[in-house]
A = this chain, B = another copy of it.
Amino acid sequence: MNNRMVKKTTQQELIRRRQHFMGNAYRLFYDRPLHIVRGEGVWLYDSDGRKYLDVYNNVPHVGHCHPHVVEAISRQTRVLNTHTRYLHEGILEYSQRLTRKFPEGLDIAMFSCTGTEANELALRLARAKTGGTGMIVSEHAYHGNSWAIAQITTACETSEERGDNIVSVPSPDSYRGLYAGQDQAAEKYAAHVATAIDMLAQRGHRPAAFIVDTILSSDGLPTIPAGYLARAVEIVRDAGGLFVADEVQPGFGRMGSEFWGFATHNVVPDVVTMGKPMGNGYPVSAMVTSRGVIDEFTGHSHYFNTFGGNPVACAAAMAVLDVIEQENLQSNALEVGAYIRRGLRQLAGNHELIGDIRGSGLFIGVDLVLDRDTREPATDAANRIANLLSQRGILVGTEGPHDNVLKLRPPMVFSRHNADLLLQGIEDVLVLEPAS
């Protein structure tokens, strides 16, 4: 057999073993799944030593295997890894440093291991604080995988029926759908949130929380009408509910202009959740809130999360903040993100397939369309392009209700040079597209 055949056999064998030992619930990226064995900065390497420019993974926020984070994890793992029932400086220093990144009042941090767990805690707090049970969510939201969070994860089909305490509101998309090209979209969006509250009331639920991923990534990163969120939040608060900002995707400087997604909307949340990028891959997540919100919960419940905020998790998270600051990664996201969008706009001049370019900092959505007038989603083309790019050594994803949005969300150390490679790669595959 030649090398290519050996490789194919190996891949098939790995896939067979995966199905055998891990069942059918897991999915792999790309038609030709990748067997990744090494990562460094913005690069991933497969078992043949082939390298891939990672324009997808936000978990390795400061770059795959960043030496400062690796060293922090290794050092603390060697010394101590216990839990929050002993005193430890690490969690206190990190809590202090983290809460300083928030507006005044949001000064309490609690720790868990995953975004799902942070959202679970947020919703338990919201229910305790408000006495309500109603949840208002976006119509194509992703918030996690537990039972209660799968209920509000409207982007995914689930084996469970959704409770009548959950109402979704249309995605505030200014490009396609209800609000497209409309004046006063913010008012219209706010009216939908008000309607959701009425629906909940009719079903006997007072609102506990309005929860939003502040970049609305699974909704396809729509460009959000100015002020839309603040107005909606006001309505929810008037009805007694809390606003939970899910910063698992936008947080930690990725937006470029701001450290948190909510700040781009000029609104201060009641509760903030964060996860994926927080420990550069070490499982750690957090929820930040105020004393006024938490006290109702803590009056009835303790909280213990065995691994949550353990000394290694805090060392990893601290090292991530170090690197973000030392390497000016928020400004890098602002600058390189803008550079990529400019490049994409130039490509759009020659390629009708590109309908819209959206996002903020180093989180970019490219909405592909079959027709710029009708804005019909080019779902197949998006899928084809993501696959072609992966075969050419560039990793991107697809996103949105129609799965037609190219999702560009690289590690924050992504450079202009990397951006040039990405733009060249996109151009190379766009010319292969019949519609383009």
Contacts and interface: CB of A to CB of B under 8 A. Distances in A.
Interface of A: 11, 14-15, 17-18, 20-29, 33-39, 44, 57, 59-60, 64-65, 70, 73-74, 77-89, 91-92, 95-96, 99, 107-110, 112-117, 120-121, 123-124, 127-128, 145-148, 150, 156-160, 275-276, 280-284, 291, 294-308, 310, 312-313
Given A28-B86, A307-B114, A64 B38 contact: no
B87 A64 contact: no
A18 B79 contact: no
Contacts of A60: 81-82
Given A39-B79, A73-B77, A80-B64, A15 B87 contact: yes
Nearest to A128: B159
A87 B294 contact: no
15 contacts: A18-B87, A22-B84, A22-B110, A24-B295, A24-B298, A25-B110, A25-B303, A39-B79, A70-B74, A74-B77, A112-B114, A116-B305, A128-B159, A145-B303, A283-B310
Contacts of A14: 87, 89, 92
A81 to B, nearest CB: 4
Given A37-B80, A38-B80, A148-B148, A158 B306 contact: no
A116 to B, nearest CB: 7
A81 B117 CA distance: 20
Given A80-B37, A81-B65, A291 B150 contact: no
User: In the assembly, how many copies of this chain are there?
Assistant: 2
Given A21-B96, A145-B304, A27 B79 contact: no
A18 B60 CA distance: 29
Contacts of A57: 82
A26 B302 contact: yes
Contact of A158 (B81, B87, B113, B301): B301
A297 B108 CA distance: 37
B22 A91 contact: yes
Nearest to A69: B77
A165 to B, nearest CB: 12
A87 B35 contact: yes
The 3 closest A-B pairs by CB, nearest first: A21-B95, A159-B300, A283-B307
A173 to B, nearest CB: 24
A147 B159 contact: no
Contacts of A304: 26-27, 145
Given A35-B87, A124-B159, 14 more contacts: A14-B89, A18-B91, A22-B91, A22-B109, A23-B110, A23-B291, A26-B303, A27-B302, A59-B81, A65-B81, A81-B282, A113-B307, A145-B304, A282-B312
A113 B110 contact: no
B127 A36 contact: no
Contacts of A80: 36-39, 44, 64-65
Contacts of A296: 159
B301 A33 contact: no
A43 to B, nearest CB: 11
A34 B160 contact: no
A146 B120 contact: yes
A88 B297 contact: no
Contacts of A128: 159-160
Given A108-B23, A148-B147, A33 B297 contact: no
A37 B78 CA distance: 11
Contacts of A77: 65, 70, 73-74, 281-282
Given A114-B114, A157-B300, A305 B145 contact: yes
A247 to B, nearest CB: 14
